[in-house]
Amino acid sequence: MPDAITVQPTTHPSGTRLSSGSLDSLPATIGRPAYDRAAVTPGIVHIGLGAFCRAHLATYTDDVLAAGDTQWGIVGVDPLSPAIRDALKPQDCLYTLLVREEGRDSLRVVGSFLDALVTADQLDEVLALMAAPATRIVTLTVTEKGYCQDAATGALDEAHPLIRADLDAPEAPRSVPGLLAEAIRRRRAAGVPPFTVLVCDNLAQNGIKVRGIVVRYAELRDPDLAAYIAAQVSFPCTMVDRITPATQDADRATVEAALGCRDAWPVVSEPFKQWVIEDRFPLGRPAWEKAGAILVEDVHPFELMKLRCLNGAHSLLAYLSVIAGIETIADAMADPQLPAVVRRLWAEDLIPTLPPVPGTDIPAYTAALEARFRNPGIRHRTIQISSDGSQKLPPRLLEPARELFAAGKAPAVIPLAVAAWMRFLLEVDEKGTAYAVADPMAAALTGIARANRQDAAALAAALFAVEDIFAPELVAEPAFRAAVVERLDSLMTVGVAATLSALLGT
Ligand code: CS2
């Protein structure tokens, strides 16, 4: 089913709720499941019910169901919060995807979620479902921090409170590694082969990394289970991409006006989407390629390009924008200087670190990224992207910086991004407006920032010492340290605009 269906706002009596029963009365311009949902059986358990998976893998799967392969319905599981489950259940797990581009909105109701559960209060049901033979794939979008990793190394954070708790009570897991290990253990005990674990988060080599995390967790729990997981469970790597900002009330109102009934939690995204997947699914998979996914032997080149060029540029823009008081990525791209800084980041620091990407012209890819960032229909808040910097900076920007130094080159723009993140930790923008830092390490990081708020060199030195974020080889580079301190001092004394002018020579 295509995403692009132009919508004319309608004036239906409001009050009704989107549901199976209201599908037939939707305006003809609204896309909807082109298949009998009652005939669909669950084949996928998806963990992490945020907006991204509903704009991305659920729409690919919706298309596969519409193409007639009805054994791949999805049951969604949120590890913590009941909010999305409670919004979706009364509407038979249907929801609307509002695709926005300049002057043209299109809407489709997505039907691939069959049910929604919450681990925190339905653990037995979740584990029974994950252990069921019909479940052949477990997909995940739990964000970088959801895997309980040490962000600098990508290894399991063995001191993580959820991991400690799960090791004490492994049959009632609360962490994602604990949940995967327990479900696989139950399947093994029942003679059911393991599901494929498909990680759809922005980690470098996401499948390999999460495999390492789950195997290590299992080793601490039961070495025999660890050996089984290492030998038998497939963790293909994936590259996922679709810009999907958090849903706002204004989006709910737009959707309600178009549908003529209320959708408690629609999702907004850009038109573009991309999914590159390693084709290693021992128990089979949906024919996602029919919906445009690219199945490959090796995802790594695609993933490096996306994680560095898209996500790295997002992080640079987010930290500079939050401290300058710029609200969205589209607004940042309307700034007189920021687009030029992003182009330099791509050209000088990131593209030189990338291997060739099959079928892709990388400068054309970054030019297309620039157009995506400028999409005025997408109000992607810079404060949203600023979250979890401790998890995001290492794969997006610190690793390419380390690679550049190892090749004898100094990065031109990455030190500015790192300095902007450090300045951002002061929790107040240049206009004096306070904001909160959202990060699993927020307490420690903002504590360091508060203690060193007058002194760029001291602040940078204290943050460089945080080994969960900074690899020792990188912070041992005097040129890296000096460049970050210089930029941070400039951001703290003369501000974003003057710092960018100095960098760009404008
Ligand atoms: C963003 C991503 O919030 C962020 O950190 O960089 O969510 C980004 O929008 C997606 O990865 C796009 O595919």
- Residue pLDDT, tens place only, 29-67: 999 999 999 999 999 999 999 999 999 999 999 999 999
Q: At which residue do the structure tokens 């963790």 appear?
A: 235
Distance CA 486, CA 380 (A): 30
List the one residue out of 6, 5, 39 whose CA is nearest residue 20.
Answer: 39
What pLDDT score was predicted for residue 8? 41
Distance CA 68, CA 58 (A): 15
Structure confidence at residue 152 as a pLDDT band (50, 70, 90): confident
Structure confidence at residue 104 as a pLDDT band (50, 70, 90): confident
What pLDDT score was predicted for residue 5? 40
List the one residue out of 46, 125, 118 whose CA is nearest residue 81.
Answer: 118
419-429 mean pLDDT: 98
Distance CA 486, CA 301 (A): 33
Residue 495 and residue 416 in contact, taking contact as beta carbons nearer than 8 Å? no
Beta bridge partners of 76: 46, 116
From the CA of 56, give the closest atom in ligand 1.
13
| 3-state SS class at 96 | strand
What pLDDT score was predicted for residue 2? 36
Residue nearest to atom 11 of ligand 1 (CA): 241
Distance CA 137, CA 194 (A): 9
Beta bridge partners of 137: 44, 196
List the one residue out of 435, 445, 429, 349 whose CA is nearest residue 388.
Answer: 445
Residue 32 and residue 124 in contact, taking contact as beta carbons nearer than 8 Å? no
What pLDDT score was predicted for residue 103? 78
Residue 294 and residue 350 in contact, taking contact as beta carbons nearer than 8 Å? no
Could you tell me if the CB of 331 is within 6 A of ligand 1? no
Distance CA 308, CA 305 (A): 6
Could you tell me if the CB of 241 is within 6 A of ligand 1? yes
Could you tell me if the CB of 314 is within 6 A of ligand 1? yes
pLDDT digits (tens, 9 = 90+) for 108-120: 999 999 999 999 9
Residue 180 has pLDDT above 60, yes or no: yes
Beta bridge partners of 17: 262
Residue nearest to atom 2 of ligand 1 (CA): 311
323 C-alpha to center of ligand 1: Å? Answer: 19
Residue nearest to atom 9 of ligand 1 (CA): 243
List the one residue out of 161, 184, 196, 264 whose CA is nearest residue 46.
Answer: 196
Structure confidence at residue 151 as a pLDDT band (50, 70, 90): confident
| 3-state SS class at 142 | coil
Amino acid at 417: A
**Which is higher by pLDDT, 1 or 38?**
38
Angle between helices 362-374 and 313-324 (to 10 degrees): 30
According to DSSP, residue 356 is labeled P
Residue 53 and residue 200 in contact, taking contact as beta carbons nearer than 8 Å? yes
- 379-410 as b/e, with b when 16 or more CB fall inside 10 Å? bbbbbebbbbbbbbbbbbbbbbbbbbbeeeeb
Could you tell me if the CB of 392 is within 6 A of ligand 1? yes
Residue 139 and residue 47 in contact, taking contact as beta carbons nearer than 8 Å? yes
Complex prediction ipTM: 0.99
From the CA of 384, give the closest atom in ligand 1.
3
415-432 mean pLDDT: 98
From the CA of 314, give the closest atom in ligand 1.
6
